[in-house]
Amino acid sequence: MTEKEKMLKGELYNANYDKELIKERQNIKDLCFKYNMVNPLNFEKRIKILKKIIGKIKGDFFIEQPFTCDYGYNIEIGNNFYSNHNLVILDAGTVKIGDNVFIGPNCGIYTSGHPLEKDKRNKGLEYAHKIIIGNDVWIGGNVAILPGVTIGDNVVIGAGTVVNKNVPDNVVIAGNPFKIIKELN
């Protein structure tokens, strides 16, 4: 099994020496660099480059500059998506984002993690667990979403929150680690 196949299955893999994964990351880093250097007023060119980066796009979307991701092809975004400045998506695993999702500045969506065991970690092994974000979600600034998390529909995530476990539908959460602050109708 290749390192990419292991990555896509959520198993431990080594991305540091796999030529295919290195090349894919370099290609996307180049596209992200080009995107981030486009004049902010040139919306058409920005959208054109984003469509080359993002794996699957359902409808209207916009991502403010700068934006960075690892592979791009593992990212799916729904209709009416908006992200403010400095979104980082580590998409070694699938990142599926629903409709009507708004993300504040300086947020990170991280499918990648490393083993707790130092011997495995020191060999460069890592894993990637998918992240799913439901519909009608508002994510405040400086939020970190960790590997393997599913966020339900109609969720509001307060600024600075660390999302380290699944979030049910219809709630407001905040904190590190997060707590449910309020239920929504």
> For the chain, which domains are there?
3-183 (2.160.10.10)
Q: Is the pLDDT of residue 112 over 90?
A: yes
pLDDT grade for 102, boundaries at 50, 70 and 90: very high
Three-point CA angle 127, 172, 184, nearest 5°: 130
Q: What contacts 137, CB < 8 A, 6 or more positions away?
A: 98, 100, 101, 102, 151, 153, 154, 155, 156, 157
CA–CA separation, 12 vs 19, rounded Å? 17
Q: What is the average per-residue pLDDT within 55-59?
A: 96
Q: How confident is the model at residue 135 (pLDDT cuts 50, 70, 90)?
A: very high
CB–CB of 117/98 below 8 Å?
no
Catalytic residues: 114
Separation of alpha carbons 93 and 97, rounded Å: 13
For residue 4, pLDDT over 90 is answered with yes
Percentage of the chain exceeding pLDDT 70: 100
Rounded to whole angstroms, the Cα distance separating 3 from 154 reads 36
- pLDDT given for residue 38 in this prediction: 98
Helix (H) or strand (E) holding 104: none
- Give the mean pLDDT of the chain: 97
**Does residue 82 surpass a pLDDT of 90?**
yes
Please compute the mean of the pLDDT values over residues 89-115 and round it to a whole number.
Answer: 98
pLDDT value, residue 17: 87
Q: Is the pLDDT of residue 185 over 90?
A: no
Please say if the pLDDT value at position 42 is more than 90: yes
